[in-house]
Amino acid sequence: MSKDFSNKTQDNSPLRIAYLTGEYPRVTDTFIQREVAALRQQGEVNETTVQTFSVRLPQSYESLSTAQKEESDRTRYLLPVQPLELLTAHSLLLFTRPRRYLKTLRLAWKTRQLGVRGTIYQLIYFLEAGILTRWLHHLGIEHLHNHFGDSSGTVTMLASALGDFGYSMTLHGPAIFFEPYRWQLSEKISRAKFVSCISYFCRSQAMIFAPLSAWPNLHIVHCGIDPKAFAERAFADVETLTSAQRTGHRLLFVGRLAAAKGLPILLQSMAELKLTCDDIQLTVVGDGEDRAVLEAQVSALNLTESVDFVGYQSPDAVQGYLRQSDIFVMSSFAEGVPVVLMEAMMAGLPVVATQIAGISELVEEGVNGFIVPPGDIPSLTARIQRLMADGDLRRQLGDRGRVKVSESFNIHHEAKKLHQLMLSSYGLSPGISRQASTPPNTPSSPPKSKVGAF
């Protein structure tokens, strides 16, 4: 599709920002879209622009809402590659900056995954980085931010080296911490202007692989939600259960249907719960590679009438399910700090979650929810039973959960932190123009002669 990506930013804007991810916007990553929107609102005040880029278009089932489709229309995609554009971008980079081009090629070789397959993929990332560099130069963008440190993080690092502009990235976990050496996490952290970590636990994992000198550049910036917008959308078209209608028997699970999400544990817990509560119901929102296996498990446990798989749903539809449920259950073995858990708490649902990663930074045991050991069926069953039996406890935990999210995981507050980190990494501050704050061609900002070179 044809899109207008001309640079409309004022010359005195403090910083021009680009976002890059592997696939954007996806229904499973709506937190990135919220963050971009909140940054753009920061920009309305501070004259900052935010352009979005993605390696590829998401699958059709990952773009379910109108907002996602509109955001897709504002995003530029590296794939499929246009051969002439690829040749032009790399030819210009090679002939105008041969030393930088060759130095970045050596960086690509140094950070490749070993083996023929890894080398081929690294070449692809290098080629993509060349195209991205040309686009960013053309738009006068001076800072590149990446979510996730894997393949799109490699493209980000190489583009930064090719284009001589700064980059930052957000670390989530757990996937990147399973393969830190494959994705050269230490190198990416060391070269970044800064790294935002979604939890203290996440930062501690980054510290394991980052050199000590890079630790001061690891900052806590939560993912989050907009409490006001969430409440407005949630109540707009959804019939919310009244107190009299809330039996405590409606459970909700939202997540990818894969082993890491621990759904088999919840299903076994459901079988135990059904022995004493015949009308218990579990709605499973999401899809994935293990769906057929999980459906077979439901059948084997005689839970066919008690478990409903509804597949992927739009963000608005998920809010509808939240409003029609009594208890939210997260049985995962590996997570960051799930935004859907924040949404459940913001919806006033009591939550039962596993004690992993940064979950305890959101859910406080016995205060705004319950935390159980991962894989512990008796503990999970006992906590759910307690909530099912006590409506007052459900309301108390739900009310406190709403307060916790509003105070500590508000996307506008977190976007402001991120924006300030971006500006301060170039010696800038909100509302201060580049001309007034940083002389051209100083180490803290990309040389002006490099911007718009193409």
- pTM of structure: 0.86
Per-residue pLDDT at 60: 75
CATH 3.40.50.2000 fits 16-224+410-450, yes or no: yes
Per-residue pLDDT at 13: 53
Q: Which numeric CATH code is attached to 227-408?
A: 3.40.50.2000
Per-residue pLDDT at 409: 96
Q: Which spans in 301-424 are helix H?
A: 315-323, 339-346, 377-389, 391-408, 411-424
Give just the sign of the alpha carbon dihedral 74, 419, 108, 204: negative
Per-residue pLDDT at 434: 53
Tell me, rounded to whole angstroms, the distance of Cα 435 from its chain centroid.
33
User: Is cis: bond before 174, omega within 30 of 0?
Assistant: yes
Residue among 224, 160, 215 at smallest CA distance from 361: 224
Per-residue pLDDT at 257: 95
The residue type of 339 is V
Q: Mind listing the pLDDT tens digit for each residue in 380-438?
A: 999 999 999 999 999 999 999 999 999 999 999 999 999 999 999 999 877 655 543 34
Report the side by side order of strands in the sheet with 143-147.
75-77, 49-56, 16-23, 143-147, 166-171, 194-197, 218-220
The residue type of 240 is T
Per-residue pLDDT at 29: 85
User: Is cis: bond before 98, omega within 30 of 0?
Assistant: no
C-alpha 26/C-alpha 222 separation (Å) is 19
Per-residue pLDDT at 33: 92
Per-residue pLDDT at 30: 86
For CATH 3.40.50.2000, the residue range(s) in the chain are: 16-224+410-450, 227-408
Q: Mind listing the pLDDT tens digit for each residue in 4-55?
A: 434 444 444 578 999 999 999 987 888 999 999 999 988 665 556 899 999 9
* Stretches in the chain below the pLDDT threshold 70: 1-13, 43-48, 61-64, 232-245, 431-454
Per-residue pLDDT at 233: 60
